[in-house]
Every structure is written in structure tokens, then in C-alpha cells.
Structure 1
Amino acid sequence: MSDALLHALAEALADVVTSIDTCDDDVLDPDTAVKWLETTAYLLDRLPPADRRELAGLFREVAARHPEGAWRDDLLKVPEGFGLDDDQHELYCDGVEDLVRRFVEAVRDVDPATPVPTCPGWTFADLVKHHGTTHRWMEHLVRTRAAERVWSRDIPLDLPDHPAAYPEWLARSAEATLRTLRKVDPETPMWSHGAEQRVAFFPRRLLFEAQIHLADAELALGREPGIPAGTAADGIDEFLENLPHLGRIAEPVTRLPDGSLHLSATDTGGGWTITFGSAGYAWTRCGPAADAAAVCVQAPVADLLLLTYGRMRPDDVRFAVAGDRALLDAWVAATAL
């Protein structure tokens, strides 16, 4: 992309965003404006840190070309409004820290033998051990800048003798992981078990590891998981991005009949279309409408995330399903974690 095109696109985006943000309510419905800006914010959040910083600089250059006044002041707010100067790596680390703290608080006083219905055959002891093992494994991978797969079974766990001590062991394991992650440049190349072969892969992966397992614990305790819409949308993206690298579900997906699935978020207006079959697996982010999809599922985005991870079933009353239900069931069975 030429510099001229890059600058032109940045100026066009800054002007459109500022126009939406400053538009009177009687000209543009506020709910529509919020959905448009949330979608843009989400897409910009997915940019690498270096690109986010460059875009923030381009927006400021756009503002500098305008005379002093209200319009220039509003343009200068665009980078801050989208958090382009924020450190995305650190934000993920902060998110992991908060979710692990909440997870430990939720499970600390629960009988370790209590079943976890969303993880058939698991108890709370199994859930906490799995979560802590993941932290131990990923900390080792990042600290050693692993160039190839290292199995979690080969990592020292220092697991306590009694399951009642697992929550505090998990807390210590997460502290060690976050110390390591915060010391390392997220752009550092290394092996990962996902699409992104950089350190940046790991805090994002751990965020959804923590979010989903917190939901497991909360559902087992009869509580409603509270998952922010932005986090849920990013979680669906992260799952779909990494699916081809997850052997236990990537291979079953290749055996699915030709079909397409659309997930439509009723609260944010966002959506995902997934295609699979003889032409291969692919996905794209799109709007709420998906007339061409063989089956469409509508629900709030947090529920769509839990459906994606198999923590909720399509026959739950929260989901409105239209189209080929058998195809949806086949997809859910193939992608079960």
C-alpha cells in the first residue's frame, strides 16, 4: 500500500468517525452510531501494537492539517477514543489477572469433588488443575522462547498434595506467567499452538482460557456468567482463527458436509459467517444479516461465545435458530472441546 493511499484512508476514517461521533441524535439514531463505532473499535483492536501506534500518528497528522477549532479538537480525540495508544499486550495481561483472581475467589471454598456439568466427567479439582497446568505450560514456553512444541506433561507442576490447595497454587502459577509475559516484547517470534507465532498469542489465549473456565465454575455454582460484549466477540474471533491449528477439532471439521453457519449477535449487531466442507474451512466477520447461510443462530454475543465453546446448547431458549438444524448440530459436535 502506498503512503498516499494509507494517508487517504486514515483521513477518510477519521472524518467518518468524527462525523458519527458528533452527529445530532435527530440525524443519526444513537444506538446505530454506537454499533458502528463499536464495530470499528473492535477491528482496530485486532491490529498489532505497531500498526495501532502508526494509525494513531496518522490520525493526529489528519487533525494537524485542519485549522484550530472544534473539528480539529474532535479529530484529535479519535486515537484516544479507540484506545490506539493503549498497550494491547498489557491489556490482555491485565484481563487475565482479573479473571484468574475472580476464578480463584469463586472456587476457593467449593468442595473439590463438586462436578462441573459443562466439562463432563470433571470435578472442580480437575478444572482448577487444568487451568493451573495451562499457566505453568505457557509460562515455560514464553520464558524459554520455545521454537517447537513442548508438551504440558513435560513441565514441572509442583502440584500440592491436596486438591483443597489447588486454588492458591493456580494463583501463584498465574502470577509467574504474568511476570514472564510482561517482561517480553509481544512481537517476539516463537512457537505457539495457534495461528499467531509470536509471544502476543499467549496472553490473548490465556484470557479466553480464564474467561471460559470462570464461566464453567459460575454455571456449576448456579451463577450467570458476566462476559463483556467486546471480550465475547474477540473470543469468537480467537476461536475461529485458531481452529485450523487445533487438531482435535480441525480434523473433524474437515469431515463436515458442505455448509455455512452464521452467528448473529443481537446486542451488538455483529456477526460471523463460517463455511466448511469440500471447499475447506473459512470464516469472516460481517453484519447481522446472513441470508445465504444454511443455518443462522441469533443471540447476545456472550451466549454465542458460550455456544462456540460448547458451554451452551443450540436448543437453549436463548438461541433463535433458523435453517438447517442438523448442520448446526454437526458443527457443534465437530467443534466440541
Structure 2
Amino acid sequence: MIGNKKMKSVLWQALKQPQRMWTKCSREYVGPWRKVSKMNHEKLIKSFEQFADRMFTVAEGKDSEVIKVCPGWNVNDLMAHVGRIYGAVTSVIESKSIERPTTPFPTPPESSQREWAMGNFSSLLEAIKQTDPDTPLWTWGKDQNMRFFIRRMAHETLLHMRDVESIDGEFFEVDGDVACDGIDEYIDGALQHSMNPNKEFTYPDGSIHLHRTDGKGEWLIKPFGNEIVVTREHAKGDVAVRGSALALLLYLWGRNPQGLEIFGEPDLAQAWGSLAP
């Protein structure tokens, strides 16, 4: 693990350059850092609705269709997955509690998983719309309030909408800025294993630069043992991956999308694209 003295030196060098913006500092170091601005609350809710509607529409009649980008899953499996998540998050929101829930995830029925998931989505959407976004709540992330779940559910649904769409290859157009927010959310959450605190993994041995090609957005991720330092800047990494915000987001979640350019070590790029839980 990187020592405090070395980490402070790294952070100080970055903080001297005002164009850089921190998404996360090492847990060993507590100091000044600025959050990346998060997408408008209402826009994320609207996106969540759109993605879910599209996902359920495309999934209709495809219960046993295999989802190649999700090995071992068919559409029924994916519907059961999102239904369990929607149901569990609804319970947390309705509890208005800051304590970790003790109730298990809901169990999907043996059939009609799509209809069950749709019902859980409707309940979740209603709970979201009826709850102030700043309401304190238990979450598995850093932000302990309602806004965390709105953001997480929007990007979770975007990802699985794309999974279902991959069966026929007809894709809904996704706002690049929404996908860009998904990259920030991934880096600040799943990449720093807050989504699965019990999972042990090691960061790849080399830095990566992500470059968005359809708007503003660049990230340099440097590993230091089991910590990372992330800056938003144009800089050279050991490997660079260029593409649209959506392509970069899908890459980070291990979906191997088309339209990416890789400069540097392909194996390193593959390693960074294989960390998602």
C-alpha cells in the first residue's frame, strides 16, 4: 500500500494544477479535493424512465434469448436481476432509514420475471418521485442520501437496456452527457469497490487515460497498490482508450463495445475493462 508521504506528494502535485478535478482520494489521505459535479436530478429520473421503458419493451417475448455480453444469462435472468434490485432499493427508500437493511433481496417468481420486474420498477419510480432527493438514506456508496439511488438506478438500467438491445442490434440513442455521468459514477463507485466491499481485487499494473470523443470528458487513472488517484485531464497514461462516452462506459463495465481506439498496451486495456463486479 502506498505510504502517506508519497500519496501526499502525488496529491499536492495534482492540486497545484487547477484544470484537474478529483473524483476520489486515497482512503489513507484526508485533504482538500473537489467533487465532480453530478448530473441534474430531474434529468437522471427522466433517463431512468426512458431506459427502463426501452429495456422492458425490447425484452418482451425474448424470455429464453441468450445475452451474449452477459455470459450465462438469458433475458429471464436479467429481468430477475433488475427486479430484485428495484425491489430492494424501493424497500430502502420507503424505510427512510440510515441503517443497513437486514431484509433479504426479494425473490423473483418462477415465471413472468419481466412482468414482476416491471411492477417493481413502477413502485421504485413512485418512491423516487415522492422522496426528497436530499433525504438521508443508507446506501452502499459514499453518498448517503436519495440522490445516490437515483443516479445508480439510472446507470444500472442504461447498462441492462443495452444488454437486451444487443440481442437484435438495434440501439436506443443515449445522451452522451448522461453516459459521461455514468463514467464518473462508475469510477467513484464500482471501480473503488464500494459496490462490493467484500470483493478483493488488485488494480492493473499501469495507468489508463480515457478520452471521450463526443464531448468534454477525460480521465487519468493511476493505481497505487490497492488505491487509485483519478484526475480529469489530458495526460499520457500507459494505455489510452478513446471513444464516445457510451462506448467508454460500456467498456468499463466489461461489455467490449465497438468504436473504441486503444493506444498502448492492449492487455492493460483489457485488464482495466475487466474490473467491474
TM-score normalised over the length of structure 1: 0.66
**Secondary structure of the equivalent of 1:283?**
strand
Per the alignment, do residues 336 and 300 of structure 1 end up closer, same or farther by CA in structure 2, a change over 3 Å counting? same
Partner of 1:124: 75
Alpha-carbon separation, structure 1, partners of 2:207 and 2:102:
34
Per the alignment, do residues 253 and 247 of structure 1 end up closer, same or farther by CA in structure 2, a change over 3 Å counting? farther
Partner of 2:196: 247
Q: 1:101 aligns with which of 53, 68, 76?
A: 53
| CA positional deviation for 1:91 | 2.9
Per the alignment, do residues 279 and 271 of structure 1 end up closer, same or farther by CA in structure 2, a change over 3 Å counting? same
Partner of 2:260: 319
Q: Is contact 1:272-1:284 (8 Å) kept?
A: yes
**Mapping for residues 1-337 of structure 1, pairs under 5 Å:** 46=38, 88-110=40-62, 112-150=63-101, 154-157=104-107, 159-162=108-111, 165-243=112-190, 244=192, 245-247=194-196, 251-254=200-203, 256-257=204-205, 259-278=206-225, 280-286=227-233, 289-290=234-235, 292-312=236-256, 316=258, 318-333=259-274, 335-337=275-277
Q: Deviations over 1:68-122 (max 9, x none)?
A: xxxxxxxxxxxxxxxxxxxx33332222122111111111121x11111111000
Alpha-carbon separation, structure 2, partners of 1:141 and 1:239:
21
| CA positional deviation for 1:228 | 1.6
Per the alignment, do residues 130 and 305 of structure 1 end up closer, same or farther by CA in structure 2, a change over 3 Å counting? same
* Alignment coverage as a number of residue pairs: 241
Q: Is contact 1:299-1:319 (8 Å) kept?
A: yes
- For structure 1, the 5+ residue unaligned runs are 1-42, 48-87
| CA positional deviation for 1:182 | 1.4
Alpha-carbon separation, structure 2, partners of 1:282 and 1:96:
30
Larger deviation: 142-151 or 207-216? Answer: 142-151
Partner of 2:29: none
Q: Is contact 2:202-2:226 (8 Å) kept?
A: no
> Which amino acid in the other structure matches residue 247 of structure 2?
D
| CA positional deviation for 1:285 | 2.1
> Which amino acid in the other structure matches residue 254 of structure 2?
G
| CA positional deviation for 1:321 | 1.1
| CA positional deviation for 1:297 | 0.7
- The structure showing larger relative contact order (alpha-carbon pairs under 8 Å, at least 6 residues apart) is 2
Q: Is contact 1:249-1:336 (8 Å) kept?
A: no
Alpha-carbon separation, structure 2, partners of 1:249 and 1:105:
35
Of Structure 1 and Structure 2, the greater helix share is in 1
- Larger Rg belongs to: 1
Q: Deviations over 1:134-164 (max 9, x none)?
A: 1000000111123333367x1444x3442xx
> Which amino acid in the other structure matches residue 200 of structure 1?
R
Larger deviation: 139-148 or 214-223? Answer: 139-148
Q: Is contact 1:89-1:203 (8 Å) kept?
A: yes
- Give me the CA root mean square deviation: 2.3
Per the alignment, do residues 195 and 44 of structure 1 end up closer, same or farther by CA in structure 2, a change over 3 Å counting? closer
Q: Deviations over 1:158-202 (max 9, x none)?
A: x3442xx22222221111111111121211222111121111100
| CA positional deviation for 1:303 | 0.7
**Secondary structure of the equivalent of 2:227?**
coil
State the identity as a percent. 27
> Which amino acid in the other structure matches residue 46 of structure 2?
D
TM-score normalised over the length of structure 2: 0.79
